[in-house]
Amino acid sequence: MDGTLYINAARHFAAGDMAAGLALYPMPAYSLLIALTHTIIPDWISAAYFISITSIVLATIPLYHLTKNLFGVKAAFWACLIFALLPKMNQWSLYVSRDPLFLLIAAWFVLVALKSTREKGLLLFGATFLLAWTAILIRIEGLIFIFFYAVILIRQAVTADEPKGRHYLKLLIWLFPLGAGLMSLGITGVQGIGVNRFDQVYRWMAPLFNGKFLNLYSQIYNFLSEAENHPPFSGWHYNFAALARHYLLIIYMMGIIQVLLKIISPLSFIPLYMALKRPFPQQGKWMLWLGAMFIAAVYYSLLTRDFIATRFLMMPAFLLLPWIGAGTNALWIKATATSYNLRPRILLASLILLPAVLTLSLPRSNDNTIPKAVAWLSKNSTVEKVNIATNAKKVPFYAGLETDNNPNWTVAVYKNKNYMKIESFAMNQNANILILRKNHRKHKKMPAFNHFNKIAGFETKSEITTIYARTP
């Protein structure tokens, strides 16, 4: 898991070994922050959690000001309340992930960037420049901010009545690092810019210009074309495979919309729609334009890789919250205007209570038996080399934290949901430890093993994790 890379890189940075840290993960900013936080919070995971939780909480400040500038204080209150209750946003605060920190920096960038468009001074311009490149150091998607603000500067230069030299100077300063990077690319080649994954940006963008970004789309299209005449499809016109083939691009966009609704909560679509129908200032149009740029990048990624990670749409979902706050405030006004109108009251209560209930259930559903199991194994293991087979995806992360004390640990993850074959998998991997996680809600019997015996178990209300040792 990525969390293991971040923390292990942070360990190398804390020890002063920058080369080893960069070799593990080439984007050092987040791991450096973990290393810095670790000087205050001794536990590595807790230090990373502190960054995530603090980032989500502090992102409320720019959200409040962005919404207040667009729709007023009451809308800002509702936007912040909805944001605080969204299950997905709160779930990300429980991850060892760069995304909450990126969201915080990006939110401040949007606030400062839009404010700088109304002032002539260089102070806010400098802050915008710093925030944009800080965001790039956290996630490479921050490059979108460079192009976004460049469009703002170009528009200002073109529409300004006053002398335009100052605006073009700002544009030159703004684009200088990007231009320098492109010159370095031309001189050293793509292999010379591996730090911060700029080489991956080149590899990601190159297919856009040579037309190869549609290769995977063409493969899926041809697959569905071949499938039209095979069971379970009818073989006649407009069967499911034919329709899916013709409307594949629309289906992809529907998937993006589905993920967005999952993040902001499906019921939030109603106040969002209510607010988008009403006029809003130019600042709001810029925010929607930025959100559209992120969605376009995700759509391109979907075409080239055929999958969406929910976190890719965190930023555009965040940018919709001011409109959700404005629409929710409109619902509140309707609900309190008369005692006979029940529909806005029911909708408003559902809009608040549903995400609140899901958010309050997060601590209970959060995986906490795996770290206990790995910690127990670390203290009680008597063999020199530990080969672990497991069906739990988080075991490599927590086992990775033990590599300093237990350098001979290896982990193989069993991805099949059929527990009955996991023993064969463990034997093929030459595992001497088997860690099996089971969710109580999924009524599956624990298998009886011939070559492994139970040595420890850890149970919560939602799951049980059992450790088995291989018999001699």
Higher pLDDT among residues 30 and 361, named by residue: 30
Better pLDDT: 82 or 15: 82
Q: Specify the DSSP element, H or E, that contains 240.
A: helix 240-246
DSSP-H helix ranges across 86-197: 87-92, 99-116, 123-138, 143-159, 165-188
Give 223-252 pLDDT, tens digit per residue.
888 887 777 777 667 788 888 888 999 999
Q: What span, in angstroms and rounded, lies between the C-alpha atoms of 101 and 135?
A: 9
CATH 3.30.70.100 corresponds to the domain 367-470: no
Amino acid 443: pLDDT: 58
pLDDT in tens, 392-451: 888 887 877 765 556 678 888 888 877 778 888 989 988 888 999 887 666 566 777 888
Quick check: 147 and 292 in contact, CB under 8 A?
no
Percent of the chain topping pLDDT 90: 36
Q: Is 471 exposed, middle or buried (0-12, 13-18, 19+ CB in 10 A)?
A: exposed
Question: Domain map of the chain by residue range?
Answer: 41-209+249-360, 367-470
| Residues facing 193 on adjacent strands | none
**Per-residue pLDDT at 194:** 55
Confirm if 9 and 25 have CB atoms less than 8 A apart.
Answer: yes
393 vs 366: CA distance, rounded Å: 13
pTM, full prediction? 0.84
pLDDT at 127: 94
Q: Are 96 and 6 in contact (CB under 8 A)?
A: yes
Tokens of 305: 């890789």
**pLDDT, position 361:** 76
List the one residue out of 425, 356, 346, 429 whose CA is nearest residue 386. Answer: 429
Tokens standing for 119? 């002032």
What pLDDT shows up at residue 164?
73
Which residues on neighbouring strands pair with residue 411, listed in sequence order? Answer: 388
Give 321-367 as a DSSP string: HHHHHHHHHHHHHHHHH-SS-HHHHHHHHHHHHHHHHHHHTHHHHS-
**pLDDT in the model for residue 204:** 73
Phi-psi region of 463 (alpha: psi -120 to 50; beta: other; left: phi over 0): beta
CB 378 within 8 A of CB 405: yes
Q: Shortest CA distance to 119 belongs to which of 167, 72, 63, 159?
A: 167
**Across the chain, what does the average pLDDT equal?**
85
At residue 316, the pLDDT reads 95
The helix (H) or strand (E) run that includes residue 396 is helix 395-400
Radius of gyration, alpha carbons of the chain: 26
Listed residue (440, 394, 387, 442) closest to 417, CA to CA: 442
Q: Identify the H or E element spanning 388.
A: strand 386-390
Q: In what order do the strands lie in the sheet with 463-470?
A: 409-413, 386-390, 433-439, 463-470, 452-459
Read out DSSP for 257-308? HHHHHHHH-GGGHHHHHHHHTS---HHHHHHHHHHHHHHHHHHHHHHHHS--
pLDDT value of position 294? 95
Q: Using an 8 Å Cβ cutoff, are 436 and 465 in contact?
A: yes
pLDDT in the model for residue 185:
65
Evaluate if residue 195 carries a pLDDT over 80. Answer: no
Mean pLDDT lowest among 39-53, 124-138, 364-378: 364-378
